[in-house]
Structure formats: C-alpha cells, structure tokens
C-alpha cells in the first residue's frame, strides 16, 4: 500500500528518537487507518525489528518473536523452542545494549490470549528496558483494549509510556492533497464513500471515482466488498445484532426509540450495542453544539460516523442480491441515484473544516473554539461555531446544488439563528454560506455590504 504522508506523526516519533533515551510509545487507532505503515516508515532507516502478533497461544508467539530476534542479531544459539517466558525475552533484549526500534504490532492480540501480558511487559520495562536503548512501540487497532491494557490508570503499564499517538483518519483537506489532479466534486465523492481511511483511499489512485467503486468495492471477491462484515466479525461477538442496528441507522432511524422500533430490540440491548459501536468509532452520538450539559441532554441522535460503513449499508448491503449475480452496473446506477444525497451530507460535514482552515490561514479574522450542528423541533442549522469567551457565534448553511445560492438562503439562515438562544446579550454574530455553484448577483452584492458574512464556492473563500 502506498504510504500517505503523516508529517505530524512522523515528526513526533522522530523527536522521541532524538532524545537518546528508552521510549515506550503507544500507537493506536481504528483498523486500516495506517498505523503499521506509519511505524514502519518511521523505522525504515533505523535499526529495527517488526513483530506482528497473532491470535495464537503465547508459547507460539514467543517462539516467533525469538526467531525474529535471532534473525536480527544473527544469533543461531537462541532456543528453537523460543523464550520460555516474557522476562527471558526482555532480559535478552537488554543484554544486547543496542539502540533499536522494536515494533510490536496488534498488541491487543497478546492481551486477548493472555490477560497477564500487560503486567509482564510492565515488569520487563521496569527491570530491563527503562535503562536500555530500546525504542519500544506497542501498536493496536482495538481502541478499547489498548485503552484498558495500556492507557487506563489501573493498567500495569500506565505511567511507563513515554508517548502516545492516536492515529486518526485523514481530514478532507488532507484527502484533497492526495489527489491533486482530481476536481473538488470527485474528491468529495471519494471522501463521502470511504472517508479518510488510508487503505481505502489508495484504491482510488489512478482511477476515476466510478471505476474505482465498481472495481474495488462492488465486485465480489475484492477485499472491500466484504470489508465491513470482516471488521464487525473481527471486533464483535454478535455481529448479526450490530448489523440490524447499523442498517436501521443507514435507513435514517437516528433516535433511540426509532432504532428500537426498527430492530425490535429492547432499550438496554440497543444502548449497550450502540455504546460499543461508539467505542469502535463506527457510530457516534451527535448533540446540538450549544447544549450546556451534553452528557445529560435528551436531544442526542445516533449516526454512522464512519463514511464507508454508512455507504456499505446504504448500497452494498441492500443490493447484495444483485452483486452476488455480478450485476455491478445495476448497482452502480443505484449509486448514481444515491450520490447527490451523499455529496450533500458530506459537504455539510466538511463545512466546519473548511471554515477553520481559512481561519488558520488568516483569511478570516474571527476565532472559534469548536463547531457542530444545531437543531430543535422545528429548525436545523448545518454549521454553528462558538467562542464563549468573546461571546461570538457563527451560523452556516451548506448547499450542494447546481443552483446558485440567493439572498433567500441568507435570510432564512438569519431567521433560524434568532431561534438559537446562546451566549450573553449583544453577542457578535457571523454568517457563512457554502455552495457548489456559487451565488447570485444579488447575493454577491449583499455580501459586499455585510462584513460578517463569508461566502464559499466549494472550499474557496470568495474575495480572499
């Protein structure tokens, strides 16, 4: 897989290397996000050992690890049966007294096989590695297990780590840089379908959007065709029930009561499964941005946060019967019908990112702490950004339409903004409109008179 540059992450890892002291670095994040490629790219010009854990007994893991160390150190006298325990492994590593990177990938597989592994690693670090030259990286895709076994205060390894990095999917602006020859709409289409996951994005290199979807996702036998099923079975004990909940969400059932009615599951069961899906960062609970006590609000709704999961359930899962017969073009036609909605929702999701990027570049002088959506029983605003300290708020509307946006959109947004009660009296208000096709002459004239109104065509700030 082509490595997609992660400058910030690589800089972090290299700065730790230059400290010339032992390191215990934790790298974690959801599957396919590029953790392994990141670790290997960091280590490629440094002395290093890479070891991928498997779901096999610890004795077999140690045997394979012994072989990896034997190959690296050219030590033919290591036992063929492998180290008999973890302490022997750490003691041997310390005896070499060499500066090297040791990457232990999918560390949760070790913990899953033997719950005492974190304690063994803590002992190994304390007795042997904390005074060594070893740069130890523990990497894992099971976010919850990495947190429990390494990062939580009650974990034996808590306090030993010298650094950690949560590797996140790429943002839209980073995805844009990966496809310099593609136009905005095609990149928005790619992002809307697969999100910012490195492995999936690489499937679109050198191919048009529709060609890549047909060849890499809709074709039976390709990895992405069954990717969602594979990931759910890998992570979960009862994938069938999670399938039902995810399908309900993909059908637009976003309230807890709607999911319960759609699936027939009881409230406790749905809440428990949703919590697990949230931990896996497949779904999330979305709350109006201005809620004062988010954890206690009843206004939350549930959405599929992962773009590829959402796409898979909306298109592939529902039309599997056609794809199993090889009727790819029929499903591709279904995608063409679905795509305008995908683009519209995706454009709304990235509007805040576009705004903050322009703020960071100094093109907009206002500053905001965070952003999100807002809604009540009768109104909805695509983008609301707030600055509590300075009592400033921005309201934004994003429309992915071939029609130019007129003054009616701005007027409607201002009317909805009056319904949002937030901040202290005399708050300072800003407005932003995002459109695919640009704006009417009347809207452009009005914008020239309103200094707190920003217009974006696609992701370009007009007048900047």
| DSSP for 252-282, written as a single string | T--SHHHHHHHH---HHHHHHHHHHHHHTTS
Decide: 28 and 17 in contact? Cβ < 8 Å.
no
- Would you state the pLDDT for residue 237? 79
Q: Is the domain of 259 the same as that of 292?
A: yes
**DSSP assignment string, 152-220:** STTSTTTTT-SEEEEPPPPPHHHHHHH-TTS-HHHHHHHHHHHTT-HHHHGGGTTS-HHHHIIIIISST
CATH of the domain at 220: 1.10.10.10
Domain end residue (candidates: 166, 197, 212): 166
* 2 in any annotated domain: no
Decide: 5 and 34 in contact? Cβ < 8 Å.
no
Decide: 209 and 215 in contact? Cβ < 8 Å.
no
Decide: 8 and 37 in contact? Cβ < 8 Å.
no
* 411 in any annotated domain: yes
Q: Is the domain of 149 the same as that of 243?
A: no
Decide: 35 and 28 in contact? Cβ < 8 Å.
yes
Q: Is the domain of 182 the same as that of 282?
A: yes
- Would you state the pLDDT for residue 183? 96
Q: Is the domain of 29 the same as that of 63?
A: yes
* 145 in any annotated domain: yes
Q: Is the domain of 181 the same as that of 294?
A: yes
* 132 in any annotated domain: yes
Q: Is the domain of 77 the same as that of 192?
A: no
Decide: 83 and 65 in contact? Cβ < 8 Å.
yes
Domain end residue (candidates: 313, 344, 375): 344
**What's the domain count of the chain?**
3
Q: Is 354 exposed, middle or buried (0-12, 13-18, 19+ CB in 10 A)?
A: buried
Q: Is the domain of 215 the same as that of 283?
A: yes
* 377 in any annotated domain: yes
Nearest residue to 390 via CA among 344, 355, 423:
423
Q: Is the domain of 207 the same as that of 119?
A: no
- Written as tens digits, the pLDDT of the chain (464 aa) is 456 668 899 999 999 999 989 999 999 998 888 899 999 999 999 999 999 999 999 999 999 999 999 999 999 889 888 999 999 999 999 999 899 999 999 999 999 999 999 999 999 999 999 999 999 999 998 877 788 888 888 889 988 999 999 999 999 999 999 999 999 999 999 999 999 999 999 999 999 999 999 999 999 999 999 999 999 988 887 889 999 999 999 999 999 999 999 999 999 999 999 999 998 889 999 999 999 888 888 889 999 999 999 999 999 999 999 999 999 999 999 999 999 999 999 999 999 999 999 999 999 999 999 999 999 989 999 999 999 999 999 999 999 999 999 999 999 999 999 999 999 999 999 999 999 999 999 999 999 999 899 999 999 999 86
Angstrom distance (rounded) from CA 158 to CA 200: 33
For residue 41, how many other CB atoms are within 10 A of its CB? 17
- Would you state the pLDDT for residue 1? 46
* 1 in any annotated domain: no
Provide the domain limits for residue 64: 7-166
Q: Is the domain of 318 the same as that of 332?
A: yes
Q: Is the domain of 417 the same as that of 430?
A: yes
Domain end residue (candidates: 166, 191, 225): 166
Q: Is the domain of 235 the same as that of 278?
A: yes
* 216 in any annotated domain: yes
Q: Is the domain of 190 the same as that of 289?
A: yes
């Amino acid at each position: 897989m082509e490595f997609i540059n992660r400058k910030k992450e690589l800089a972090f890892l290299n700065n730790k290397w230059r400290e010339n002291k032992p390191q215990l670095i934790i790298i974690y994040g959801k599957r396919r996000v590029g953790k392994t490629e990141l670790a290997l790219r960091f280590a490629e010009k440094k002395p290093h050992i890479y070891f991928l854990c498997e779901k096999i007994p610890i004795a077999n893991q140690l045997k394979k690890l012994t072989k990896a160390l034997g190959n690296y150190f050219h030590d033919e006298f290591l036992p063929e049966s492998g180290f008999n325990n973890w302490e022997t492994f750490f003691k041997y590593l310390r005896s070499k007294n060499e500066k090297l990177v040791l990457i232990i990938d999918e560390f949760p597989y070790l913990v899953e096989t033997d719950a005492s592994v974190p304690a063994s690693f803590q002992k190994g670090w304390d007795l042997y590695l904390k005074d060594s030259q070893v740069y130890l990286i523990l990497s894992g895709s099971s976010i919850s297990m990495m947190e429990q076994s390494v990062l939580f205060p009650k974990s034996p390894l808590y306090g030993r780590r010298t650094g950690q990095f949560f590797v996140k999917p790429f943002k839209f602006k980073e995805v844009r840089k990966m496809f310099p020859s593609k136009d905005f709409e095609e990149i928005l289409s790619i992002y809307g379908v697969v999100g910012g996951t490195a492995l999936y994005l690489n499937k679109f290199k050198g191919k048009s959007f529709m060609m890549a979807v047909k060849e890499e996702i809709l074709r039976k036998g390709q990895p992405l065709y069954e990717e969602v099923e594979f990931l759910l079975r890998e992570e979960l004990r009862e994938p069938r029930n999670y399938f039902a909940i995810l399908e309900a969400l993909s059908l637009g059932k976003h309230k807890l009561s709607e999911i319960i009615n759609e699936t027939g599951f009881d409230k406790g069961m749905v809440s428990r499964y949703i919590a697990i899906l949230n931990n896996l960062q497949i779904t999330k609970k979305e709350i109006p941005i201005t809620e004062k006590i988010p954890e206690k609000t009843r206004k939350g709704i549930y959405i599929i946060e992962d773009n590829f999961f959402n796409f898979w359930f909306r298109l592939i899962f529902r039309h599997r019967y056609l794809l199993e017969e090889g009727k790819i073009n029929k499903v591709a036609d279904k995608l063409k019908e679905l795509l305008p909605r995908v683009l519209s929702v995706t454009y709304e999701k990235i509007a805040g990112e576009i705004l903050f990027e322009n703020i960071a570049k100094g093109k907009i002088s206002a500053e905001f702490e965070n952003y999100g959506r807002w809604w009540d029983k009768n109104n909805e605003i695509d983008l609301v950004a707030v600055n509590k300290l300075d009592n400033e708020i921005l309201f934004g509307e994003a429309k992915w339409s071939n029609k130019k946006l007129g003054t009616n959109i701005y007027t409607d947004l201002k009317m909805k903004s009056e319904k949002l009660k937030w901040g202290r009296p005399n708050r300072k208000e800003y407005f932003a409109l995002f459109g695919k096709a640009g704006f009417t002459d009347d809207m452009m004239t009005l914008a020239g008179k309103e200094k707190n109104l920003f217009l974006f065509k696609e992701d370009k700030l007009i007048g900047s």
